[in-house]
Amino acid sequence: MCLAVPGKIVEIEENDGLQMAKVDFGGIFREACLDYVPEAKVGDYCVIHVGFAISLLSEKEAMETLDLLKQITNFEEELGPEPGAAPA
Amino acid sequence: MKYVTEYRDAALVKGVIEEIRRTVTRSWTIMEICGGQTHAIVRHGIDQLLPPEIELVHGPGCPVCVTPLELIDKALEIASRPDVIFCSYGDMLRVPGSSRDLFSVKAQGGDVRVVYSPLDAVKLAKANPDKQVVFFAIGFETTAPPNVMSAMQAKRLGLENYSILVSHVRVPPAVAAILGSPTNRVQGFLLAGHVCAVMGYHEYPPLVEQFNTPMVVTGFEPLDIVQGILETVRLLEAGNVEVFNAYQRAVTLEGNIPAQKMIDTVFMEVDRKWRGIGTIPMSGWDLRPEFDQFNAEKRFQVETITADESPLCIAGQILQGMKKPHDCSAFGNECKPEHPLGATMVSSEGACAAYYRYARVKP
């Protein structure tokens, strides 16, 4: 129910007093209301839930988290297989 | 950066699970509160990839599951009226009330429509001035901003034929109820990322302190979930009792302020009954009196209905992390997604429905 999907804003226009965007979900386009993320602009990625943007995604934070997790995985590769593990 | 595929990288997920394996030294019971996360965990088999020391139990964060039977019966009564167009999110249509569901109301001629957004229901009200349009406004904090905006928008447009049937619940009182129970066995929490995107996570440090239980704000992709589990295990193993935000790309401490302001304008905190659990004080929202004209319960004067649950069903214990779906004798027998006996089998996000769909049997 609280499922929300990241999408990219491709157009913004006003409709019935609401800021409405055309949002690209990897090639599928839906309408979403931007009133809760008034700072959003065309090209930004937002988390969209039932036709509303609820959060503007931070690329900086996203990259930092991914880098951190990649370090964990590389750490494992550097250590090599566990002692006693069967050769691959 | 597409914010999806990066978080479904199998090698990274495996690497993080290995790190969990290296970090864990003893048994821990961790609850994911959100039904969307329950579904993702079982679908991707994350529960089966974790080291045996980690047990995941599944919380009450499925709004379709916890909507009380009485309210579904009210929805069915309103939806049956000839002058009503009844709008709902799709997952509520199959949920049985005492004797039928919204699908059967539709089959008997009721005008029941599935909408993607509550604004679609407002559009229907504008286009059908001779009909009463009612929207079934269920959900947690994530869904509250869209639902309240529909009432606000109807007010702005001067629509007199739009109302919402509200069954809104909040996460923090449920967390407090679970941790405060004498039978609680949850030692760490994965907090629902999208609830926190709206509300921030400033409501949780007092709960962490009161119940001495660490909590980690967690997203929904497989990598987000294993990262949330890793951070929870790290806090537990180090004896650090705090809140950690593992979903920083979408969540800030303070949350979405414009959304919180709109919720506070339209909704007030009320006691709510949770299907399978019972009444939790101040655990939900309802329309403020200034918005009575948009309150479907007041507009249609539906009588208070009392309904009984199946005596076989143990959904209440499952929703509080005390039991697992396969501990129930009715699971997969009398109780299946096609004819659910209780809360956790009614929605695909319910723990029983997820276990049934992905064939989790008793170990």
* Interface-testing mutation among A9, A16, A39, A69, with chain B (most B C-beta atoms within 10 A): A69
Domain annotation covers residue B105: yes
Distance from CA of B9 to the nearest CA of A (A): 10
For residue B272, the Cα-to-chain-centroid distance in whole angstroms is: 14
B261 and B350 in a single domain? The answer is: no
* Residue in A52, A58, A62 nearest the CB of B145: A52
Greater confidence (B338 vs B241) lies with B241
Q: Sort B307 into a burial class: Cβ within 10 Å, 0-12 / 13-18 / 19+.
A: middle
> Residue B1: its pLDDT value, please?
78
Contacts of B139 in chain A (CB under 8 A): 1-2
Answer yes or no: is A36 within a domain. yes
Q: Do A33 and B117 touch (CB under 8 A)?
A: yes
Amino acid identity, residue A45? Y
The rounded distance, in Å, linking the Cα atoms of B164 and B161 is: 10
Is residue B176 situated within a structural domain? Answer: yes
pLDDT of residue B340: 87
Q: Based on the structure, what is the number of domains in chain A?
A: 1
ipTM: 0.92
Inter-chain CB proximity B1 and A63 less than 8 Å:
yes
Chain A nearest-CA distance from B354, in A, is: 14
Residue A86 lies in a domain: no
Q: Is B11 exposed, middle or buried (0-12, 13-18, 19+ CB in 10 A)?
A: exposed
What is the token pair recorded at B173?
């009182």
Residues B222 and B329 in one domain: no
Q: Give phi and psi for B155, each to the nearest 5.
A: -65, -45
- Which amino acid does the sequence have at B71? L
pLDDT for A64 equals: 87
Q: Mark yes or no for CB contact A33/B195 under 8 Å.
A: no
The reply to whether B291 and B346 lie within a common domain is no
Residue A62 is nearest to which of B153, B197, B249, comparing CB atoms?
B249
Domain limits for position B321:
315-357
Domain with residue B161: its CATH number is 3.40.50.11740
Q: Is residue A87 part of a domain?
A: no
* B309 and B320 housed in the same domain: no
For B251, nearest residue in chain A (alpha carbons):
A55
> Do B245 and B292 belong together in one domain?
yes
The verdict on residue A85 lying in a domain is: no
Q: Enumerate the β-bridge partners of residue B168.
A: B139, B285
Does residue A59 form part of some domain?
Answer: yes
**Domain boundary, last residue among B298, B313, B328:** B313
Residues B118 and B8 in one domain: yes
Q: Is the per-residue pLDDT at B172 higher than 80?
A: yes
pLDDT single digits (tens) B105-153? 999 999 999 999 999 999 999 999 999 999 999 999 999 999 999 999 9
**Are B320 and B305 part of one and the same domain?**
no
Q: What is the pLDDT of residues B58-110, one digit of tens each?
A: 999 989 889 988 899 999 999 999 999 999 998 888 888 888 889 999 999 99
CATH of the domain at A22: 2.30.30.140
Residues B5 and B122 in one domain: yes
Query: For residue B362, is it within any domain?
Result: no
Write out the residue range of the structural domain in which residue A29 sits: 5-79
Nearest to A49 among B120, B138, B143 (CB): B143
Name the minimum distance, in Å, from the CA of A14 to any CA of chain B.
13
| Cα–Cα distance, A9 to B206 (Å, whole number) | 37
Q: Which two tokens stand for residue B308?
A: 């009984």
Residue A88 lies in a domain: no
How many beta-carbon contacts under 8 Å exist across A and B?
143
d(CA A84, nearest CA chain B) in Å: 16
CA distance B81 to B99: 17
Q: What percent of chain B has pLDDT over 90?
A: 79
Residue A53: inside a domain: yes
Specify if B203 maps to a domain: yes
Position B65 scores a pLDDT of 87
Work out the mean pLDDT of chain B and round it to a whole number: 93
Yes or no, beta carbons of A65 and B246 under 8 Å apart: yes
Does residue B288 belong to any structural domain of this protein?
yes
CB–CB of B119 and A18 under 8 A? yes
Tell me the longest C-alpha to C-alpha distance in chain B: 66
Q: How many CB atoms lie within 10 A of CB B304?
A: 8
Answer yes or no: are the C-beta atoms of B166 and B286 closer than 8 Å.
yes
Nearest to A51 among B34, B119, B195 (CB): B119
Q: How many CB atoms within 10 Å of residue B159?
A: 18
Whether residues B141 and B88 share a domain: the answer is yes
- The band of A88, judged by pLDDT with boundaries at 50, 70 and 90, is very low
| Domain tally, chain B | 2
Single-letter code of the amino acid located at B299: R
In terms of C-beta density within 10 A (0-12 exposed, 13-18 middle, 19 or more buried), how is residue B53 classed? middle
Inside any domain, residue B363: no
pLDDT in tens, B227-268: 999 999 999 999 999 999 999 999 999 999 999 999 999 999
For residue B197, give how far its alpha carbon lies from the nearest alpha carbon of chain A (Å): 6
Query: How many angstroms separate the CA of residue B341 from the nearest CA in chain A?
Result: 20
Which of chain B's residues have a Cβ under 8 Å away from the Cβ of A67?
none
Q: Which tens digits make up the pLDDT trace of B10-35?
A: 899 999 999 999 999 999 999 999 99
Report which of B145, B154, B241 is spatially closest to residue B195, judged by C-alpha positions.
B145
Helices (H) and strands (E) in chain B, counts: 17, 11
Same domain as B175, residue B217: yes
A41 touches B: beta carbon within 8 Å: no
Q: Which residue, among A29, A54, A79, would best test binding to B if mutated, counting the most B CBs under 10 Å from its CB?
A: A54
Strand order across the B111-114 sheet: B111-114, B84-88, B132-139, B162-169, B278-287, B267-274
The rounded mean pLDDT for chain A is: 86
How many of the other CB atoms lie within 10 Å of CB of B196?
30
On whether both B63 and B136 belong to a single domain, the answer is yes
| B198 and B261 both lie in a single domain | yes
Chain B residue with minimum CA distance to A46: B250
Q: Tell if the CB–CB gap between B34 and A61 is shorter than 8 Å.
A: no
